[in-house]
Amino acid sequence: MAEVSLHSLNKYFDTTHVVKNVDLQIRDKEFMVFVGPSGCGKTTTLRMIAGLEAISSGEIRIDNTVVNAVPPMDRDIAMVFQNYALYPHMSVASNMAFGLKMRKFEKAEIERRIKRAADILGIENLLDRKPRQLSGGQRQRVALGRAIVRDPKVFLFDEPLSNLDAKLRVQMRVELKKLHERLAVTSVYVTHDQVEAMTLGDRVVVMKDGIVQQVGEPLELYNRPANRFVAGFIGSPAMNFADVTLADGNGRVTAEAQGLKISLPDALASRARSKAGRKATLGIRPEDIRVANPGDSADHCFEAEVEVVEQLGSEILLDTRVGPALMAASIDPESKVRAHDKLRLVLNPARLHLFDAETEAAI
Amino acid sequence: MAVTALAASETRRVPIRLRKLEDERWLALVLLMPTAVLLGLFIAYPFAEGVLLSLSSAKVGDPGEFVGLANFAKLWDDNIFWTSVWNTFWYTGVTTVFKLGLGLWLAMLLNRHFKGKAIVRAFILLPFIIPTVLSTFAWKWMFDPTFSVINWTLFKVGLIHARINWLGDSDLAMASIMVVNIWRGVPFFAISLLAGLQTISPELNEAAAIDGARPWNRFWYVTWPLLLPVTMVVMLFSVIQTFADFQLVYVMTGGGPANATHLFATYAYQIGIVSGLLSQGAAVSLAMFPFLFVIVVVQLLYIRRVETR
Amino acid sequence: MIEGALWRKWVFAYLPLILFVIVLLFPFYWMIITSFRPDGELYRPWNAVNNMPFWTNKPTWEHFTYLFEETNFGRWMFNTMFIAATSTLISLFCGVLAGYALARLNFPWAGSLGTLIFITYLVPQTLLFIPLAEIIRDFRLGDTPWSLILTYPTFLIPFCTWLMMGYFKAIPKELEECARIDGASRWKAMLFIVIPVALPGILSSGIIAFTLSWNEFIYALVFLSSPDEKTVAVGVTSELIRGDVFFWGSLMAGALLGSIPVAIVYSFFVEHYVSGLTGSVKG
């Protein structure tokens, strides 16, 4: 039962400002994911919550208590590290018992909790082994077990899956999700992988250069990115961007570039009208582009030359050239398309995004 | 009542002290304290005391008085002192060259796979492990003027016809001492350089061989440059230890014959402890300091250059 | 490996290696053979006709019995052992703590302190023995084991600290961070996690420190005077040489016995010794 709140949080390493004025409320039982490119300040923020880094300015509250000056041992949190940080000289059981021993739990209680955690994670038969006798996935489970037995107020995860191979990573991702549903403990999870962020998070914080770009539920970030960075970072394959000029004529607002003239839908048009004549960035996801039918309105169609065809089975990914711009499109796998074909494509106007050319904020 | 009150205040105070140890600066202070005390008391303080002593006229049983640089002025005119200075440099220079050459050779010999390598490596280090004074006595016995096994061997092989008085002649005595120093130092060089060699990937040498480099060129253009940082550090330690050596000369010749084989340390011992002229002896061993200082600084600068290259 | 013909291997690899081994080990053979020879055989001029220096048919214990009956050899062994063990323990204690602080903690002057330790690591004992003798006298420690137990750490601590810094730096930081989150204070995380993991390093420094203090001579020579307090090296030097007369048989027997404890410790922990030695020159 714990909320975590960050208030005007700042961190300087010497003179480098790595975390800038972060304000955030993490709700009780929420699974909050921090995502962003490396060096964006997400891990530093997590380490400040853990108490491993001093706070330069601002305030962190756990369960409504200011913990700025509380050492990590007294914060009642548990953390899973990227390299697992299993104590190499202790057996799996002792690894899990360590935190409880430090807190002077009774022996019977320690055993009960280890048994429960081992049961949840399916590692009962590993309890007597040393960490070096375990595979990567097993180590990962032990690291999780060590956190679970503590029954802490908050779980912290620092890129826990990034040392696993691709297949195991997907499997552990699912297990983490189940585990959170079962234990329902407030969790903060740091990753650079947007797929992990989208699949695991109740809400996701996107960070860049120490600044929070957007906080929201995964679908919200996908559908309504607050700026060009979030739009490009969330979603795979990444959103297409084209530099366009906005024009207002005949009662319609259009976004124009060489080889491209798209009418904006009404809602977007009304917001963009005041910027007519100015530059902007048009964004459209590959999955919102398809091959045009004869009946499609010319307002949302454009001509494209196919450069590369990637057959993925479930879809075809096209890399196309539209005037000077590159545009990826995800189309029906049954389509007969070859490189150097000239195609007429249509985009879904309801899914258009428009970003200010200077501030990069969504219009 | 008083006792319980005290106990209660104790239990309250302990956590506060532990809190302080959560601050890295306090913890560092506590952890460094024992070291600081011991090193301060028995290195920094003696150093200062040594400087004061060398500026006084103290003898055993006589605290003496401040005499300025008189002790050093006296050394300036002391032939034996200059002999020791020259000996120290000669001794350090010659032995270091041999230790490096032989050590490197031995390291290369050991850097290949053969049966019993672990055993050979373990035995080879023995001269470095066994207390110097004790092994030096074995050498002194081997160099004994009348009962020398070395003379016996040379005679039987037919190389000599009369005995050689190894420790009785000043040049031969110095050479004998050097032999012992080299004998003791080669294992240290060999094992350290072997560790350095093992960090060099064999692919590099194989690539050079495929590029057409002969063994000597492979050594000179591939192995040696990569080994240089380790070599320099090993040299640094060896040079300092050799420069400040005492035990070998003390056991082998005691500085003789006729004060011809003194080093800084043995001459300082001779004057300061045997003759009881504390101030004069302190001046001799302190005179070692500037030389050592320059050697260390030059080597450290060179090491830094090699490592950042 | 680039291999050549068999004869080349012998000429360029095995033969030189065998020579190295013979030269490096011969003095020890000489030590052993001397300590078992009767005096009659020992003091036979080098060019005597029936001299057979490399072997004896009449081995004797007389030199060893002389050591134990006519000198305080047993006492010297005990002194050396006690002094080496105690000063090693003190140095390990100080060196492990200081090495941890310098390798792991952020505090003002951490860098300069590390350099200072390295510099003291380079200070030879022969630089300071005369003023140190005065100080030992002032502290009334002269002619007691404590004069050595307290001064040997001056060269052992910098060594242990320097070596331990290397070992601590190689341990992932996350281990102790995890322990601290698990509820351990910095102190406990160091005690229960970092130090146990660094145990091989501690063993290495301990063994080398032990051999170094067993090897020390000049402090022992200067600070100790009464026969009962001496260490093996000093005792052998002062009690088995009377003026110009060397009791070679007993000298070699003493040297042999005085080497055995170090050799035993070394033989049990060769790998630790070597890894410590090579770690210490890596800087």
Domain that holds residue B251: 70-308
Q: Output the pLDDT for position B63.
A: 80
Interchain contact, C24 vs B127, CB within 8 Å? yes
Is residue B154 domain-shared with residue B81, that is, in the same domain? yes
pLDDT of residue C51: 63
pLDDT tens-digit profile of A67-94?
A: 998 889 889 999 999 988 999 999 999 9
My answer on whether A219 and A252 are in the same domain is no
Q: Which of B140, B191, B189 has the alpha carbon at shortest distance from B167? A: B140
Task: Give C45's contacts in chain B (Cβ within 8 Å).
Answer: 146-147
The Cα–Cα gap between B107 and B125 comes to: 12
- Find the closest chain C residue to B129 by CA distance: C211
Mean pLDDT over B142-159 rounds to 82
One domain, residues B50 and B79: no
Say whether C188 and A71 touch across the interface (CB within 8 A).
no
Residue among A52, A98, A156 whose CB faces C182 most closely: A98
Shortest Cα distance, chain C CAs vs residue A304, angstroms:
51
* Domain-ending residue, one of A193, A225, A257: A225
pLDDT of B40 reads 92
Is residue A89 within 8 Å of residue A69, measured between CB atoms? Answer: no
Q: How are beta strands A57-62 and A65-66 bridged, if at all?
A: antiparallel
Residue B11: pLDDT band (50, 70, 90) is very low
Nearest to B32 among C46, C51, C101 (CB): C101
Residues A18 and A58 occupy one common structural domain: yes
Q: What is the pLDDT of residue C8?
A: 79
Do A32 and A153 share a domain, yes or no? Answer: yes
Check residue B65 and give its pLDDT: 83
The answer to whether residue A70 neighbours chain C at the CB level (below 8 Å) is no
Give the end-to-end CA distance of chain A in Å, rounded to a whole number: 39
User: Backbone dihedral region of A76: left (phi > 0), alpha (psi from -120 to 50 degrees) or beta?
Assistant: left
Q: How do A353-356 and A342-347 pair as beta strands? A: unpaired
Same domain, B50 and B91: no
Neighbours of A, requiring at least 3 CB pairs below 8 Å, are: C
Q: Within the 93-152 window of chain B, which residues sit less than 8 Å (CB to CB) from chain C?
A: 105-106, 109-110, 112-114, 118, 120-127, 129-135, 137-139, 141-142, 144, 146-149, 151-152
Residue B194 lies in a domain: yes
**Average pLDDT for residues A115-132, to the nearest whole number?**
92
Answer whether A50 touches C (CB < 8 Å).
Answer: yes
> C30–B288: do the CB atoms touch at under 8 Å?
no
Interface list for B 166-185 with C (CB within 8 A): 183
Residue B304 lies in a domain: yes
Instruction: Report d(CA B171, CA B182) in Å as an integer.
Output: 16
Q: Which C positions 150-169 lie with beta carbon below 8 A of chain A?
A: none
Listed in sequence order, the residues at least 6 apart from B244 whose beta carbon sits closer than 8 Å to its beta carbon are: B264, B265, B288, B292, C124, C125, C126, C127
**Which residues 184-203 in chain B show a CB within 8 A of chain C?**
186-188, 191-192, 195, 202
Give the Cα separation of A319 and A327 in Å (integer): 6
Chain C residues with CB under 8 Å of A83 CB are 172, 174
C-alpha torsion sign, points A301, A306, A308, A309:
positive
What's the pLDDT score for residue B303? Answer: 81
User: C84 CA to chain A: closest CA distance, Å?
Assistant: 29
Predicted local confidence at residue B1, as pLDDT: 37
Would residue B63 count as lying in a domain?
no
Q: Which residue of A has its CA nearest to C183?
A: A73
| pLDDT level of residue A5 (50, 70, 90 thresholds) | very high
Whether B196 shows a pLDDT value over 80: the answer reads: yes
B47 and B196 share one domain:
no
- Whether A322 is covered by a domain: the verdict is yes
Q: Are residues A249 and A201 in the same domain?
A: no
Q: Both B97 and B50 in a single domain?
A: no
Tokens 């923020």 belong to A45
Residue B87 lies in a domain: yes
Find, in chain C, the residue whose alpha carbon is nearest to that of B218.
C2
Read off the pLDDT band of B2 (50, 70, 90): very low
Q: Which residues in chain C have their CB less than 8 angstroms from residue B41's CB?
A: 150
| Coil, strand or helix at A313 | coil
Among C185, C188, C196, the residue with its CB nearest the CB of A89 is: C196
**Residues B271, B203 share a domain:** yes
Q: Within the 244-303 window of chain B, which residues sit less than 8 Å (CB to CB) from chain C? A: 244-247, 250-251, 264-265, 268-269, 272-273, 278, 281-282, 285-286, 288-289, 292, 296, 303
Looking at the fold, whether B155 and B303 belong to one and the same domain comes out as yes
- Asked, for residue A361, whether it belongs to a domain, the answer is no
Whether residues A15 and A91 fall in one domain: yes
| Judgement on whether residues A191 and A290 belong to the same structural domain of the protein | no
Q: How many residues does chain B have?
A: 309
What is the reported pLDDT for C45?
A: 67
Instruction: Output the pLDDT for position B216.
Output: 85
A208-259 pLDDT, tens digit each: 999 999 999 999 999 999 999 999 999 888 999 999 998 887 778 888 888 8
Give the least confident one: A123-127, A214-218, B17-21, B239-243.
B17-21
Domain membership flag for residue A231? no
Residues A66 and A201 in one domain: yes
- Any CB–CB contact under 8 A between A97 and chain C? no
Is the pLDDT higher at B56 or at B98?
Answer: B98
- Mean pLDDT, rounded, of chain A: 91
B303 lies in the same domain as B236 = yes
Does residue A85 lie within any of the structural domains? yes
Residue B59 lies in a domain: no
Q: State the CB neighbour count (10 A cutoff) for residue A177.
A: 14
DSSP-assigned letter for residue A288 = G
Domain CATH code at residue B130: 1.10.3720.10
State the smallest CA–CA distance between residue C191 and chain A in angstroms. Answer: 12
Domain count, chain A: 2
Closest CA to A100 of A159, A151, A40: A151
DSSP A337-349: --TT-EEEEEE-G
Q: Provide the pLDDT for residue C213.
A: 93
Phi, psi of C64 (to 5 degrees): -70, -40
Q: Where are the alpha helices (DSSP H) in chain B?
A: 2-22, 24-39, 45-54, 70-76, 79-110, 117-124, 126-129, 132-142, 149-157, 170-198, 202-210, 215-218, 224-243, 247-252, 264-269, 278-308
Same domain, A344 and A212: no
Q: Is B64 a member of any domain? A: no
Q: What is the pLDDT of residue B14?
A: 42
Of C172, C193, C199, the CB nearest to A83: C172
Query: Nearest CA to CA, how far is A43 from chain C (Å)?
Result: 13
pLDDT in tens, chain C (283 residues): 455 677 777 788 889 999 999 999 999 999 998 889 888 777 776 666 666 677 777 788 888 988 888 888 999 999 999 999 999 999 999 999 999 999 999 888 888 888 888 888 888 888 899 999 989 988 999 899 999 999 999 999 999 999 999 899 999 999 999 999 998 889 999 999 999 999 999 999 999 999 999 999 999 999 998 989 999 999 998 888 887 778 888 899 999 999 999 999 998 888 888 888 887 776 4
Q: How many CB atoms lie within 10 A of CB B230?
A: 22
Spatial distance between the Cα atoms of A80 and A142, rounded to a whole number of angstroms? 10
CATH assignment at residue A151: 3.40.50.300
Q: Which residue of A has its CA nearest to C185?
A: A73
If asked whether residues B172 and B295 sit together in one domain, one would say yes
In B, which residues are within 8 Å of C107 by CB distance?
Answer: 24-25, 28-29
List the single residue in C30, C132, C277 with the smallest CB-CB distance to B42.
C132
B192 and B101, same domain (yes or no) = yes
Q: Does A49 touch chain C (CB under 8 A)?
A: no
Separation CA A189–CA A200 (nearest Å): 9
**Domain interval for residue A313:** 240-356
Domains of chain C: 6-60 (no CATH), 63-280 (1.10.3720.10)
Residue type, A285: R
Residue B264 near residue B285, CB atoms below 8 Å = yes
B6 has pLDDT over 50:
no
Tell whether B163 lies on the interface with C, counting CB pairs under 8 A: yes
Nearest to C187 among B27, B151, B240 (CB): B27
Residues 39-58 of B with CB under 8 A from C: 39, 41-43, 45-47, 49-50, 53
pLDDT of residue C280: 74
Q: In chain A, what's the furthest Cα-to-Cα distance?
A: 80
Cβ <8 Å between B268 and C130:
yes
**What distances in angstroms separate CA B195 from CA C57, C99, C275, C280, one per listed residue?**
43, 23, 9, 11
The last residue of a domain, from among A201, A225, A249:
A225
Q: Which pLDDT value is given to residue B207?
A: 87
Mean pLDDT of A26-33: 94
The answer on B222 and B148 residing in a single domain is: yes
| Nearest CB to B272 within list C120, C130, C151 | C130
Write the pLDDT tens digit of every residue in B236-252: 889 999 999 999 999 99
- Residue B77 domain-assigned? yes
Q: Is the pLDDT of residue A269 over 90?
A: no
Cross-chain CB nearest to C126 (options B131, B146, B244)? B244
**Nearest beta carbon to residue A102 from set C175, C182, C199:** C182
Question: Is pLDDT at B125 greater than 50 in this prediction?
Answer: yes
CATH number at residue A265: 2.40.50.140
Residues of A within 8 A of C174 (CB-CB) are 81-83, 85
With contacts defined as CB-CB under 8 Å, which chain A residues touch C186? 71
Q: Per-residue pLDDT for A180 more than 80?
A: yes
Tens digits of residue pLDDT in B60-103? 877 878 888 888 999 899 999 999 999 999 999 999 999 999 99
Q: Which of these three, A225, A255, A287, is where a domain ends?
A: A225
Q: Which residue of A has its CA nearest to C175?
A: A85
Q: Which residue of B has its CA nearest to C185?
A: B22
Residue C106: list chain B partners with CB under 8 A: 24
For residue C178, the chain A residues in CB contact (below 8 A) are 79, 81, 85, 87, 146
For residue C49, the model assigns a pLDDT of 61
**What digits encode the pLDDT tens for the residues A285-337?**
999 998 988 888 888 889 899 999 999 988 999 999 988 888 999 998 888 88
Mean pLDDT of A13-20: 91
**In this complex, is the C-beta atom of A195 within 8 Å of any C-beta atom belonging to chain C?**
no
pLDDT digits (tens, 9 = 90+) for A149-165: 998 999 999 999 988 88
Do B295 and B158 fall within a single domain? yes
Taking residues B156-184, report their average pLDDT: 88
Residues in chain B closer than 8 A to C161 (CB atoms): 35
In whole angstroms, what is the distance from residue B125 CA to residue C270 CA? Answer: 9
User: Which H or E run contains C245?
Assistant: strand C245-246
Q: Are residues A215 and A155 in the same domain?
A: yes
Residue B173 belongs to a domain: yes
A120 in a domain, yes or no? yes
Q: Is C100 an interface residue toward B (CB < 8 Å)?
A: yes
For chain C, the straight-line distance linking the first and the last C-alpha, in angstroms and rounded, comes to: 29
